[in-house]
Structure 1
Amino acid sequence: MPLFNQSIRRKIVGIALGLIVLMLVTSILSMVMSSQVGVLLDELTNRYIPAYGDLARANIRSLERSVALRRMVMMKMQEAPDEEAYAARLKEFEEADRKIEAETSDARSHINAIIDDSRTPSDNAALARIDTRIETAVTELRQGMNEAHAKLLKQIDAKQMPEARGTLEHLDALRDQFNQRVDGIRGDMLKQVYASTSTVVGQQRKAIIISGIVTILAAVVGFAFALLVSSGITRPVRLLLAGTREVEAGRFDRPITVSTQDEIGELAAAFNRMVEQLRHNERIRETFGRYIDPKVVQGLIDRPEVAIDGQRRVMTIMFCDMSGFTSMSEGMTPRGLVKVMNHYFTVMSGPIRNHRGVIDKYIGDAIMAYWGPPFIEEDEPALLACFAAIDMADQVPALQKQLPDLLGIRAMPAPCDLRIGIATGEVLTGSIGSELMMSFTVMGDAVNLASRLEAVNKTYGTRILISQASADAIGSSCELREIDRLAVAGQSAPQAIFEVMSKAHGLSVPQQSLRTHYAEGLAAYRARRFDEARAAFNTALEAVPGDGPSRTLLGRIAQFEANPPDANWDGAWRLEQK
């Protein structure tokens, strides 16, 4: 509709103008009707009621005229007539006569004004009859009274008192007859007053009703008009809000409908373009998320300065490797090998992601991951890394059963297992590489140590080895066993290394016995009490047959018995190979 294709400013101005027009129409109609009622009220106040009052005063003047006449007669009937008093009474008589004429004339003037006014509804025929009756009554009164009055004066002057009394009675009869006519005219005039009053009241009630109806209609029309126009504004706003919530929820596949051509329509079109760009960016992010950990992608987007400047942070590094991979891969086709490795990486990457770790890269059959700020809190990296390692180790039995099915063989040519090394320390984080290609990674001694610990598992026959710093950070949240004091290749100072056996309170009775006797044997081994150490390690093997660290240290004891260590031996073992 053209109405909804206007700008918001024009819509709002249109609503305001429409309401103003409705208000003006209502006001003009009220003014017209009020003016009509005012005309009727003016006629009632200034014509009907004054006319009726004039007729009532004419009655009074008639009585005053009669009283004055009687007083005149009384002044003449005295033995010594009082001419001065008679003249005064005569003057009163004549004044009353003139007032009767004036009152009736004023009443007729008001009545004729009513008849002549075409603006007001009135019973002009009835008013004309009243006018005629007034004229007739006054004329007849004038004629009869003048004759009787002249006759009365002659009789009084002639001292004909009996005849004067008869003439006076005749004058009283004429007066009564006049008053009766005037009373009848007044009654009819009062009816006209009542009729005019009813008309005024009716017109006023009609004006109120019509004004109320028009006001309600104006309000309804104005509300409907405002609702229609405002809905044209608010509906696209609601659609835009709903679209925004969809985007906030991460759903970019629902563009909003552009239903107007105003500013909101332009905003909706821009919003759709933004959603399309977000959808495109999300596809890019999902695509790169297969090659770069999503946390790194998001972190680089939110804080690009981290990648540019680089930072030193304390992080926990994990290296994970599949044992027996080389022998297993020799007899596989390339497609089968890729299939096995993809499944292996999928299974082992799950616990890392579930515990908020960042997968840095896949190196052959190895996985490098790390935990630390800004991706997680500073006190969580080591614990989360160990929890992830325990879950990864728990996946090994199921993985060993799945691999033959993936390869289409009955049994694996060589057993596969897992080796994990974890170290905590200060590393450099940032984008490392050349001008042609960069990689957001971590570098430092902790990275090297984690890689060495992963390889050391092969020496001790363990799955998960962690550094001293990682063990200190974990505390009692995991069940640990100190394995040895070791100086890996590239390090001069030895440090304790620990095996992660389970989560807290997760050891079985044989495992608890193993840890206890192994700790006794390790203490005797470092004190060069090799016989005592051998007995303790054998007891540990009785608790858990095949325990790799116990067998490894028993082998060292045999070597030391043949070639005893130097006098300054500190009980640590040094690996010269990486």
Structure 2
Amino acid sequence: MPIFNQSIRRKIVGIALGLIVLMLVTSILSMVMSSKVGVLLDELTNRYIPAYGHLARANIRSLERALALRRLVMTKMQSPSDEEAYTARLHEFEEVDRKIEEEAEGARSLINAIIDDPRTPSDNATLARIETRIETAVTELRRDLNEDHAKLLKQVDARQMDDARATLEHLDVLRDQFNLKIDAIRADMLKQVFFSTSQVIGHQRQAIIISGIVTLLAAIVGFAFALLVSSGITRPVRLLLAGAREVEAGRFDKSITVSTQDEIGELAAAFNRMIEQLRHNERIRETFGRYIDPKVVQGLIDRPEVTIDGQRRVMTIMFCDMSGFTAMSEGMTPRGLVKVMNHYFTVMSGPIRNNRGVIDKYIGDAIMSYWGPPFVEADEQAVLACLSAIDMADQVPMLQKQLPDLLGIRAMPVPCDLRIGIATGEVLTGSIGSELMMSFTVMGDAVNLASRLEAVNKVYGTRILISPATAEAIGSLLELREIDRLAVVGQSAPQPIFEVMGRAGALTAAQDSLRQHYAAGLTAYRARRFDDARTAFNAALESAPGDGPSQAMLDRIAQFGTSPPDAGWDGAWRMDHK
């Protein structure tokens, strides 16, 4: 069967095997040549250079020997004679004398090892001559020196100083002759070191060139083979890519036609089936996207099991209500009311969507929305909810100007404003309802608390109140003010509630002063120091005239003047109505 009619799997495996074989050939060749370079380098490092070092040290030893001999003679010539010192000098002289032969023998051993190693292309004839010359030089030196040493010692013992001096001069001549011979040998040995170095460099360069050529050939062969095999794949893949780009752009009206006998044909059929399913899903999204938040629609399509079974998650819930809606709706026609409410919901829904919130439902003039996994990360849900509330509050002045123009009147019957409550806690998420109709929503204490906090704004004259769990999750990312410790309807234990004043670092000097005076008043209030609390709350009103919480606390303190709290009062306020 021709290779181009094989499956893609076999084509790819064939290409991979061919490249692996070429890679193995290249690797083996590189290892063989690198091994040869390693042998040459090892010989240069461990034989040639150390042998040259032995010869160089032999010269030094000869000078040390001459120095030791003079010290020996000087010790012998001292008066009175110190035999112990003389013996020590004699021992030192013999030790240095012996080292000359040891260095020469070390050099000869290394040279012979080079000659005996058949793996390296050394100049064995020249090396053999060098080894012979070393042996001859040492032998002649030893033969000439032994006689003169004995003569010198006798002359020193007999105090024949002139004769001893002549003998020392003759020994110096012999030493110089020996050093000249060793220098000549060293020069020849250095040539061999350079020869070995050139061999290493040459083989290394040869290994690099050959490896490069083989690698290049392997790359060319592999590329040519891959190009031939892939030529039958690229065209249908391009068609698939073009179809995928159409889908990415949101166009699901085109199918692709690919006629091949391999997996590409199967992929084309599967791609066409996928496009059909995407068309179906898009119709669902378009239909339900106007009635349910698109994020929820996507979740219902992607993970239906989660929406059916339900899950417990920590989420942040927001309730937003329009103040004065009842009074405003009484003076409007149904058409005008619908027009106002649609515009109101459009303006207030924008910040929620922009901060990745999910709008759960519209309840009369109220908006219920939530933040949390899987739509946003758990550690950012509270901040996003509060940022949405701030953005919604920022829309109020513009909305107050737009509504009269929208209705064609000079002014609204009653001013409109917002009340927002936000709470964070564990809720049940899932599809709730009957067998006939269901709604994907959230249920739990956090939902009830958010609804209660929205209503509590009426008591304190605030816009945005949040629960302590929400405040804790926000930390220092926003500017908050503790308003009171409150037990809303349905709760037995009071908990602190907070007002969102603005983004971090955005407070004016007056707002910062308001927060400080209010905090001082709240502390005095809870400690039953109502006079101090009244002073602090009045100071807060001076910083921000019309501050609702400060006025509410002053009214409460005035009420305590006629009906003081009981002895077990804990500084908290309990709501007895919604």
TM-score (norm: length of structure 1): 0.58
Equivalent-residue separation in structure 2 for 1:230 and 1:532 (angstroms): 86
State the Cα distance separating 1:400 from its structure 2 match.
Answer: 0.9
Residue 255 of structure 1: aligned partner: 254
Residue 391 of structure 1: aligned partner: 391
User: Partner letter of residue 565 of structure 2?
Assistant: P
Native 8 Å contact 1:240 1:256 kept in 2: no
State the Cα distance separating 1:275 from its structure 2 match.
Answer: 2.1
SS in structure 2 at match of 1:362:
strand
**CA offset digits 1:163-206 (Å, max 9, x no partner):** xxxxxxxxxxxxxxxxxxxxxxxxxxxxxxxxxxxxxxxxxxxx
State the Cα distance separating 1:299 from its structure 2 match.
Answer: 2.0
C-alpha change, 1:250 and 1:298, in structure 2 (3 Å) is farther
| Equivalence map 1:248-287=2 (5 Å) | 249-253=248-252, 255-256=254-255, 258=257, 268=268, 271-272=271-272, 274-287=274-287
State the Cα distance separating 1:11 from its structure 2 match.
Answer: 13
User: Partner letter of residue 337 of structure 1?
Assistant: L
Residue 547 of structure 1: aligned partner: 547
User: Partner letter of residue 382 of structure 1?
Assistant: A
Native 8 Å contact 1:239 1:256 kept in 2: no
**CA offset digits 1:542-571 (Å, max 9, x no partner):** 111100001111111111001111111111
Moved more, 274-283 or 546-555: 274-283
Counterpart check, 1:473 vs 2:478: no
State the Cα distance separating 1:323 from its structure 2 match.
Answer: 0.5
C-alpha change, 1:250 and 1:282, in structure 2 (3 Å) is farther
Equivalent-residue separation in structure 1 for 2:233 and 2:472 (angstroms): 63
Equivalent-residue separation in structure 1 for 2:527 and 2:476 (angstroms): 27
**CA offset digits 1:422-467 (Å, max 9, x no partner):** 0111111111111111111111111100000000001100000001
User: Partner letter of residue 252 of structure 1?
Assistant: R
State the Cα distance separating 1:270 from its structure 2 match.
Answer: 6.0
| Equivalence map 1:52-451=2 (5 Å) | 234-247=234-247, 249-253=248-252, 255-256=254-255, 258=257, 268=268, 271-272=271-272, 274-451=274-451
Equivalent-residue separation in structure 2 for 1:396 and 1:385 (angstroms): 17
Equivalent-residue separation in structure 2 for 1:10 and 1:305 (angstroms): 41
Native 8 Å contact 2:243 2:256 kept in 1: no
Equivalent-residue separation in structure 2 for 1:285 and 1:343 (angstroms): 23
State the Cα distance separating 1:232 from its structure 2 match.
Answer: 8.9
Equivalent-residue separation in structure 1 for 2:249 and 2:480 (angstroms): 42
State the Cα distance separating 1:365 from its structure 2 match.
Answer: 0.6
User: Partner letter of residue 377 of structure 2?
Assistant: E
State the Cα distance separating 1:300 from its structure 2 match.
Answer: 2.6
Residue 81 of structure 2: aligned partner: none
Equivalent-residue separation in structure 1 for 2:324 and 2:571 (angstroms): 31
User: Partner letter of residue 539 of structure 1?
Assistant: A
Native 8 Å contact 2:314 2:372 kept in 1: yes
Residue 502 of structure 2: aligned partner: 502
Residue 57 of structure 1: aligned partner: none
C-alpha change, 1:340 and 1:231, in structure 2 (3 Å) is farther
Native 8 Å contact 1:484 1:497 kept in 2: yes
Residue 122 of structure 2: aligned partner: none
User: Partner letter of residue 507 of structure 2?
Assistant: L
State the Cα distance separating 1:316 from its structure 2 match.
Answer: 0.9
**CA offset digits 1:43-65 (Å, max 9, x no partner):** xxxxxxxxxxxxxxxxxxxxxxx
Native 8 Å contact 2:325 2:416 kept in 1: yes
**CA offset digits 1:234-267 (Å, max 9, x no partner):** 54431221111332x2512451554759786786
State the Cα distance separating 1:342 from its structure 2 match.
Answer: 1.3
RMSD between superposed Cα atoms in Å: 2.6
User: Partner letter of residue 383 of structure 1?
Assistant: V
SS in structure 2 at match of 1:380:
helix
| Equivalence map 1:3-82=2 (5 Å) | none
Moved more, 277-286 or 460-469: 277-286
Moved more, 417-426 or 400-409: 400-409
Native 8 Å contact 1:252 1:276 kept in 2: no
User: Partner letter of residue 303 of structure 2?
Assistant: R
Residue 535 of structure 1: aligned partner: 535
SS in structure 2 at match of 1:570:
coil
State the Cα distance separating 1:274 from its structure 2 match.
Answer: 3.5
4+ residue runs of structure 1 moved beyond 3 angstroms? Answer: 8-12, 229-237, 256-274
Native 8 Å contact 1:315 1:427 kept in 2: yes
Equivalent-residue separation in structure 2 for 1:306 and 1:10 (angstroms): 44
Larger Rg: 1
Gap regions ≥5 residues in structure 2: 9-223
TM-score (norm: length of structure 2): 0.58
May I ask how many residue pairs the two structures share in their alignment? 357
State the Cα distance separating 1:339 from its structure 2 match.
Answer: 1.6
**CA offset digits 1:304-324 (Å, max 9, x no partner):** 221122211111111000101
SS in structure 2 at match of 1:275:
helix
Equivalent-residue separation in structure 2 for 1:261 and 1:408 (angstroms): 67
Native 8 Å contact 2:255 2:275 kept in 1: no
C-alpha change, 1:291 and 1:365, in structure 2 (3 Å) is same
**CA offset digits 1:216-241 (Å, max 9, x no partner):** xxxxxxx9xx99x9989754431221
Equivalent-residue separation in structure 2 for 1:509 and 1:11 (angstroms): 75
Equivalent-residue separation in structure 1 for 2:417 and 2:6 (angstroms): 75
Moved more, 534-543 or 373-382: 373-382
Equivalent-residue separation in structure 2 for 1:544 and 1:359 (angstroms): 34
Counterpart check, 1:571 vs 2:575: no
Equivalent-residue separation in structure 2 for 1:245 and 1:512 (angstroms): 54
Aligned-residue sequence identity (percent) comes to 80
Native 8 Å contact 1:300 1:307 kept in 2: yes
C-alpha change, 1:11 and 1:476, in structure 2 (3 Å) is closer
Equivalent-residue separation in structure 2 for 1:577 and 1:241 (angstroms): 63
Native 8 Å contact 1:355 1:388 kept in 2: yes
Equivalent-residue separation in structure 2 for 1:423 and 1:548 (angstroms): 21
User: Partner letter of residue 255 of structure 1?
Assistant: K
Equivalent-residue separation in structure 2 for 1:240 and 1:259 (angstroms): 8
SS in structure 2 at match of 1:480:
strand
Residue 116 of structure 1: aligned partner: none
State the Cα distance separating 1:357 from its structure 2 match.
Answer: 1.2
Residue 558 of structure 2: aligned partner: 558
Equivalent-residue separation in structure 2 for 1:311 and 1:351 (angstroms): 27
Gap regions ≥5 residues in structure 1: 1-7, 13-222
C-alpha change, 1:278 and 1:527, in structure 2 (3 Å) is same
**CA offset digits 1:93-146 (Å, max 9, x no partner):** xxxxxxxxxxxxxxxxxxxxxxxxxxxxxxxxxxxxxxxxxxxxxxxxxxxxxx
Residue 522 of structure 1: aligned partner: 522
Equivalent-residue separation in structure 2 for 1:256 and 1:302 (angstroms): 23
State the Cα distance separating 1:302 from its structure 2 match.
Answer: 2.6
Native 8 Å contact 1:427 1:444 kept in 2: yes
State the Cα distance separating 1:380 from its structure 2 match.
Answer: 1.4
Equivalent-residue separation in structure 1 for 2:305 and 2:490 (angstroms): 32
**CA offset digits 1:374-420 (Å, max 9, x no partner):** 22222111111111111111111111111111111121111000000
SS in structure 2 at match of 1:379:
helix
SS in structure 1 at match of 2:378:
coil
Equivalent-residue separation in structure 1 for 2:426 and 2:559 (angstroms): 37
Equivalent-residue separation in structure 2 for 1:410 and 1:507 (angstroms): 34
